[in-house]
Amino acid sequence: MKREAFKMFLKPGFENEYEKRHAALWPEMKALLKAGGVYDYSIFWDKDTNILFAVQKTEGDESSQEMGHNPIVQKWWDYMADIMEVNADNSPISIPLPELFYME
């Protein structure tokens, strides 16, 4: 099991839309993440900075951040591009965060 954290950037005024879209996460996207070994995945929002803080556990070789080759992920990126800061390929700008402390 591996834990990963990263941050992304929400465009101002889109927090409700972001939450709405994730509440209706596509079944095929959820299945892809689970099949890839991603579980216990949370995204938090810092309303003062519009930074999204994500934490996930993985059992497989890929985190959600390494699945960009999949057409379902690429379609999700396109769907989310209007409300997030993204790269030229519509992947979210995502910055990995190193773990400095963990308490079981």
Spot the catalytic one: 22, 39, 49, 89: 22
22 is catalytic: yes
CB 65 within 8 A of CB 45: no
Torsion angles phi and psi, residue 47, rounded to 5: -65, -20
d(CA 62, CA 75): 18
| CA-based nearest residue to 43, from 76, 12, 10, 68 | 10
Beta strands in the chain (DSSP E): 2-9, 38-46, 51-58, 95-97
Catalytic residues: 22
